[in-house]
Structure 1
């Protein structure tokens, strides 16, 4: 790539990043999107709850999005990993794994999060297919199915009423002593939600479709689907390297204008919001691009 100086560098070229690039491209901003091509939902069969695109595959959405953004000649793409960043007198420099160096006045992190898959045989193969994180993204497809919630305490109790709205056959698998208040336990029982304290050793499946949970005590139970609010980490350490605050929940801290705690750096998408869906990522990216353009316009006016 000949030109290595831009007004904005967007790190992360999935839904949030491409949406931000679209806003910036339409505002004639010289923009670079750096992306390694590994979105977190690449294993998910279909994307849902996104108006006009409900049921499309994640890959279809990305290909369509990139084709549309590519029509704007002020937006360029770099296929690779951003590995470090630093602040300069005029903005920022980003270095890639191939030692390419790009500069820009502003940065956008749309890098998302990395799910920390538990060490359970079969879990990763089912993740995003029949072991899922979100009732809004996946719940309709697994409605009225025998469903497990693989969590304890507040995470399990948060999911329980949402899942109860979709199916009557629910078991909360706590992998140890249940961590619920007396009131929470009463409500779970009232809604006929079973509590199982066993630990899972293996998930038996067929092509990612859950069939049986095998427990460490050797017992087994058949299930059709499971919800699992597993932990995560940021996909990149560059925001922290540049001084951006990370919240207690593990997200890049942003204000209502999608600004991080560092001047000139914005963030959008899953890495900065607990609302983890394609629709909210696209929205966040769209607004980020518009607000960033406004800031650039005011600085040069």
Structure 2
């Protein structure tokens, strides 16, 4: 039986990419019985009725899945943040990074609108770039106007499923337009190309850029830490997790515990103070969360 990847789900139909053909498929009743909902990004086995229609018979095992947006087997999250207009927000970036790390998805930080920065802003951004690269993150500086850094993005997209995420107005649509000009996405507007109008069903679609697939969704619609437990937060900060190996006590939350490797790393400057402060804020948010029953 042929296999393919679901690149769009809409109105009960699943559009499966097989080689260069797009097959419109329905799911078999066995999925409803077993409570399996095929997702965009799923690798599936299907039976073709003809050249353009068929049925999904099996959904292969997923390596991950997101609820919002509903997508599976994501390799990478391209976190798009602007240097200015709106100003770069490390606390919001760290919130995105925690959610991405928790879902075992590789993040790529993309800072846009570098053409609008003055010398002071460039120095500030350079400091943040140094900090995030030191923590192990890939950071690319771009401009959709001058196309600065765009060529650096293409290799990261190749042969991957990527989700583009970031706050409104940072230039996500402009970035996608430069990466693939025929998309002609409206900036800060409704995308007619991707079937996203005011009266149409909201859906996720994977668009091809080079040999990669990029989700048209604006990314995480919820930035709450609803599933993360307090003892899991450290693992979402790579440099904190590394420093925690030197904590005296297992399960150290890096608050007031003695001989804490993380606090020592902050004091020595190995971990930027703002990253540690964001960790403390997020930890308090998780601890203050209302219990779920």
How does the TM-score come out when normalised to structure 1? 0.24
Greater relative CO, 1 or 2 (CA 8 Å, sep 6+): 1
